[in-house]
Amino acid sequence: MTANEARNAAWVFPGQGSQRVGMGRELARSSPAAAAIYEEADNALGFAISTLCFEGPATELEQTSNQQPAILTTSVAYLAALNERELLPNPRFVAGHSLGEYSALVAAGSLDLGDAVRLVRRRGDVMQEHGAGAMIAVIGMDSDAAEQLARDSGVEVANDNAPGQIALSGRPEAIGRASALARERGAKRVVTLPVSGAFHSSLMRPAAEAMAPFINHTSVQPARYPLVTNVDARPITDPDDLRRELIDQICAPVRWIDVVRTMQQAGITTFYEIGPGKVLAGLISRIIPGAYVTPADQLLSSTPASE
């Protein structure tokens, strides 16, 4: 890893939807550092989130209140394994997709792992509790057309993920209208998302209000590496700003295209996706064709652990 590559690197962390039964099992077997992360998370939560990750069942793993700490723990375990093998340069920035911001803040030294898993366990609970509504992904429609579609159907843009890939949130009847209109207006695909509510929309404001006291009473340290925020795609390090981001992002859209372009404009050319799967690698490659994007599994498999 050259000094120039290190200066131009960012770490990115996935959100919900990246989970699968079995995630992290081989990682924990091969990496003592990763195994220690699972043990720490189990102790912080008071139950074995590790068993849920390694063995399922899928129906329990997919519950929002389980899925969130499971993905966060697995992402941090990947980071520990990568650092154990000295495979990562220090980043100039960190970023996370929705839930992934918590993983990013653990990586940046702002949140303690135990505090983070307890927070996202609570975040999952309140998102399920205030989960009125539904979401769809609209494929093959540009951002301007998708925003007009949202206005015309009474829904909100929830995720601006990549060119031609937008998620919409709203009440079920409005989502039904948006689905029909999207097809009429030439969308290539409309996919109903398997989520329990209208995430990243104004319908989640009660969930943000419910989370605020927990976030405000959690110790947050200045970030060693700036977090490029979902809400307004700016780099922040101050604890008060970080707390505000974690509250606001619950009911604000995830501006992932802007997040990635902010890093690109700052000179980032190398992205490491740290966590289960490679969803963000695919999105980043569409936002910045030719960017160097490496998922954690690929990096670990190319450098086997020493015997």
What are the helix (H) ranges across 31-91? 32-45, 49-55, 58-61, 64-84
**Per-residue pLDDT at 124:** 92
Burial class for 148, CB neighbours closer than 10 Å (0-12, 13-18, 19+)? middle
Instruction: Quick: pLDDT tens for 195-224.
Output: 888 999 999 999 999 999 999 999 999 999
**Active site positions, annotated:** 98, 200
What is the per-residue pLDDT for 3? 46
CA neighbor of 44 nearest in space, from 76, 15, 69: 69
What confidence score (pLDDT) does residue 2 get? 47
pLDDT, position 175? 97
* Residue the block writes with tokens 């097809």: 183
Paired with 189 in beta bridges are 139
Confidence category of residue 304, pLDDT binned at 50, 70, 90: low
Q: How many helices (H) and strands (E) in the chain?
A: 15, 10
Neighbours of 213 (CB within 10 A): 10
Q: Band of the pLDDT at 267, cuts 50, 70, 90?
A: very high
- Specify the pLDDT at position 130: 83
Sequence-distant (≥ 6) Cβ neighbours of residue 91 within 8 angstroms: 9, 10, 11, 225, 272
Whether the pLDDT of residue 305 is over 80: the answer is: no
**What pTM value is reported for the model?**
0.95
Residues of the chain with pLDDT > 90: what percent? 89
pLDDT single digits (tens) 58-79: 999 999 899 999 999 999 999 9
Of the pLDDT bands very low, low, confident and very high (cuts 50, 70, 90), residue 30 is very high
Q: What DSSP assignment string belongs to 193-216? A: ---SS-TTSGGGHHHHHHHHHHHH
Q: What is the pLDDT of residue 7?
A: 72
List, for residues 112-151, the tens digit of each pLDDT value.
999 999 999 999 999 988 878 999 999 999 889 999 999 9
Q: How confident is the model at residue 6 (pLDDT cuts 50, 70, 90)?
A: low
Cβ distance 177 to 150 under 8 Å?
Answer: no
Q: How far apart are CA 47 and CA 289, in angstroms?
A: 42
Q: How far apart are CA 46 and CA 142, in angstroms?
A: 45
Q: Reduced to 3 states, what is the DSSP secondary structure of residue 156?
A: strand
Q: Measured between alpha carbons, how far is 43 from 112 in angstroms, rounded to an integer?
A: 13
Q: Which two tokens stand for residue 199?
A: 């995430």
Q: What is the DSSP letter of 9?
A: E
**pLDDT of amino acid 112:** 98
Query: What average pLDDT does the structure give for the chain?
Result: 94
C-alpha torsion sign, points 241, 93, 75, 135? positive
Rounded to the nearest angstrom, the gap between the alpha carbon of residue 142 and the centroid of all alpha carbons in its chain is 22
Q: pLDDT tens across 216-258, in order?
A: 999 999 999 999 999 999 999 999 999 999 999 999 999 999 9
Question: Burial, 206: exposed, middle or buried (Cβ in 10 Å; 0-12, 13-18, 19+)?
Answer: middle
Question: What is the distance between the alpha carbons of residues 215 and 256, in angstroms, rounded to a whole number?
Answer: 23
Is residue 104 scored above 50 in pLDDT?
A: yes
Mean pLDDT of the region 147-163: 96
